[in-house]
Amino acid sequence: MPWEEKRALIESTIIEMGLQDCADTVIGNWHLRGISGGEKRRVSIAIEILMRPRLLFLDEPTSGLDSASAFFVTQTLRALSRDGRTVIASIHQPSSEVFELFDQLYLLSGGKTVYFGQASEAYEFFAQAGFPCPALRNPSDHFLRCINSDFDKVKATLKGSMKLRFESSDDPLERITTAEAMRTLIDFYRSSQHCYAALEKVEEISKYKGTVLDLGGSQASFFMQAFTLTKRSFINMSRDFGYYWLRLVIYVVVTICIGTIYLNVGTGYNSILARGSCASFVFGFVTFMSIGGFPSFAEDMKVFHRERLNGHYGVGSFVISNTISAMPFLLLITFLSGTICYFMVRLHPGFEHYLFFVLCLYASVTVVESLMMAIASVVPNFLMGIIIGAGIQGIFMLVSGYFRLPNDIPKPFWRYPMSYISFHFWALQGQYQNDLLGLSFDNQSPLLPKLPGEYILKVVFQIDLNRSKWVDLSVLFGMIVIYRLIFIIMIKINEDVTPWIRGYIARRRMQQKNGIVNTTVAPDGLTQSPSLRSYVANHSTRPSRR
């Protein structure tokens, strides 16, 4: 579709939902007011109807809206249905004006059909069943009053507290319980013309043979998906003050504090451990602050799951776009804070050593971001995610080789494999070589010869000099890729395996509840609860008949 047509479709959707007055207003977040709650609801509906779907499901689209907004939204949905599309919506306490906009009405109570037919004929149906709608009462309120057993509980509570006056009334619901009214209505519906008409329609539709309804999805190429998501993610990150800008300020403040404490550390004997502790703090606790971006990423995951279920784009394009859009911000944070720390502490001089330091810091921060992405795919709750991420990083710091030297770490589990899984271990190993190799340090006594950096690396920090520092840096960048792949795998598992597990648990519960083994076999092997994608893939290969 040409961009001009896309723009025209977007503008027409904005006008249809009455959003033209706030079209250039941000949605809002924890520190920005943004649009109102009703406008947010209309935006969420507009996003769905933007693709002009054939079948649209809406769960209480008018909930939280005032009467005027609810009428406007429902009228827009009615216009969509007149355009050859099917709109199915559950409605929350509709007004009489909103209720009149619906074509078909489906009333359920306890999983049983009370009424299914024209909404305009429901009034006559309830009157024929013996439950006419009293004068001056909203028909939709009357229907709910007849089939919702919660009203009996409220009435019993009011009678028990003597707050309900017993007055004569023509309403039959005052003389019987809701359960009795439901049984009467259900039996009346089963013998009504509405039930026969519905069964005939179902039988007529079942005779048609064809392919499974096409899920549609995005027609854009992978490159276009990645480009569009990258642009959107970059704009969101730049606007969100708490995502990177606040972290940038904190990083600068913390690195200035590090620089003042280790100011011009020098090459004295005491500076040996000072350099080690400085590197440990930078690659341990400074990178630890990267988990602060988890809440914002958890919000992004909610949007991702909704758009992913609608088939707008794939997991790969989302991961690539998030990586690319976050790269400029992480580079800015690490290069600015790393430069401040490097030159204030006066670490090993030379551009190569400076470049390695900031690249190692960038890789460490990006690894933490990738780790939190993998955690977010499993634990969407941001509080639990931060706790889990902090715990994992705490374990990684414990085996980094600073708090306990590498040769002293217990080997069965902590040395192998935990220390090699820890990105802190590789970051410190590389930075120790980058900072100490090639320098000479004073001995405890001025009479003793100077200590070369190679000796300190081997004896004091127990570093393997046979492995280059660039290898350590390469391992860090490899961990970034691994954690991103883990994120993709977890998304795939949630899409394919989790529905099967939930279906299996639900069937087991139903079998235990009924006390018998369900021997009914669903068509096409659906008792195994496959994913929707695999179901469509299997059926799309079968020949269709018209």
- Output the pTM of the full model: 0.76
pLDDT at 471 over 90: yes
Tokens of 136: 């001056």
Q: Are 319 and 224 within 8 A, CB to CB?
A: no
393-415 burial, b for 16+ CB within 10 Å, e for fewer? beebbbbbbbeeebeebeeeeeb
Report, as an integer, the average pLDDT of 488-492.
Answer: 87
Each residue's pLDDT tens digit, 307-364: 888 778 888 899 899 889 989 999 999 999 999 999 999 999 999 999 999 999 999 9
Percent of the chain with pLDDT over 70: 88
CB 444 within 8 A of CB 483: no
* pLDDT above 90 for 219: no
Contact between 217 and 225 under an 8 Å Cβ cutoff? The reply is no
d(CA 134, CA 336): 73
Supply the pLDDT for residue 541: 46
Whether the predicted pLDDT of 23 surpasses 80: yes
**Mean pLDDT, rounded, of the chain:** 83
Q: 394-410: per-residue pLDDT in tens?
A: 999 999 888 888 888 89
Pairs from 503-512 (Cβ < 8 Å, separation ≥ 24): 503/528, 503/529, 504/529
Q: State yes or no: pLDDT of 532 exceeds 60.
A: no
* Whole-number pLDDT of residue 145: 82
Residue 123 clears pLDDT 70, i.e. is over it: yes
The pair phi, psi for residue 33, each rounded to 5°, is -60, -55
Domain ranges of the chain: 1-66+79-91, 103-198, 222-500
3-state secondary structure 455-490: HHHHHHCCCCCCCCHHHHHHHHHHHHHHHHHHHHHH
For tokens 């919660």, the residue is 150
In this structure, of 152-161, 227-236, 285-294, 411-420, the range with the lowest mean pLDDT score is 152-161
Beta-bridge mates of residue 105: 117
Banded pLDDT at 62 (limits 50, 70, 90): confident
- DSSP string for residues in 310-357: TTSS-HHHHHHHHHHHHHHHHHHHHHHHHHHHHHHHT-S-SHHHHHHH
Angle between helices 423-436 and 382-398 (to 10 degrees): 50
The predicted pLDDT at position 528 comes to: 46
- Tokens 């494999």: give the residue: 417
Residue type at position 296? S
As given in the structure block, the two tokens for residue 447 are 């009479």
3-state class (DSSP) for residue 503: helix
Residue 272: closest CA among 389, 435, 53: 435
